[in-house]
Amino acid sequence: MNKLPISQIGAPVLRQTSQDVEFPLSPAIYQLIIDLMHTAELTNGVGIAAPQVAASLNLFILASRPSPRYPHAPTMEPTAMINPKIIDRSSENIGGWEGCLSIPDHRAVVYRAQWVDVEYFNMQGELQRNRFSDFVARIFQHEYDHLYGVLFVDHVRPEDLISEEEYQRVCFDPLPRSMASPSSSQEHSVS
C-alpha cells in the first residue's frame, strides 16, 4: 500500500473531466484503488477521488467514519465506486460544512441534495444501486463533482470561504448569517 500525493488546487488534473474505467480492472487500477483507500485513511479523508491523485478516472472512494475532522460522520466500510452516476436527487438542498484534501485549510457551507439515487460498479464489475442520504450523500456529491473538474469552492461565494482555524472557532455556531434563510434546513457541523 502506498500513500499517494494529493493534487492541490491549481493542478490542471483537478479541472478535467475524467474517463470511464474499463472492466475487468487492470492490476494498475486495482492497486490504485487500494492506495486510494489507504491514502484516505491516513489523511482522515471521508472520501477521495482519483483525480485528486492525478488519475483522471471515474472512480472514487467513499469512506465515511468519525475522525477529528468529521467527528459526527457515520461509519461505513471504505467502498470503491467506479463509473458512478447520479440517477435522481432530492429537490431539497441542505447546507453543511465541507473541506477538501486538495484545498487544505479551507472550509465552507455547501448546499447539496439531501439524498441521491446512484449507480456505480464495484471492484468485481457488478452494477450497484443505492440511495444515500445526509452526510454520505454529501460525500458522494462532493467526490462526484471531482470527476467533472468541479471543486466545492465553485459552489460558494469567495466571502463565505473560511480558514480551518476559523472553522474550529465557529463550527458549533449556526450557519454564517449570510447563508441562513428561513426556507433552508441545515446539518449541524457534520462535515
**Chain residues in the site for Zn ion (CB under 5 A):** 100
Residue tagged active-site, from 77, 126, 143, 165: 143
DSSP string, 60-94: EEE-----SS-TTPPP---EEEEEEEEEEE-S-EE
**In terms of CB distance, is 25 or 100 closer to Zn ion?**
100
User: Residue of minimal CB distance from Zn ion?
Assistant: 100
Amino acid at 141: Q
User: Distance between CA atoms of 52 and 66, rounded to whole angstroms?
Assistant: 22
Residue 183 CB, nearest approach to Zn ion (Å): 27
**In terms of CB distance, is 59 or 100 closer to Zn ion?**
100
Residue 189 CB, nearest approach to Zn ion (Å): 18
User: CB–CB of 18/50 below 8 Å?
Assistant: yes
Residue 180 CB, nearest approach to Zn ion (Å): 25
User: Distance between CA atoms of 13 and 5, rounded to whole angstroms?
Assistant: 13
Known catalytic membership, residue 143: yes
Catalytic residues: 143
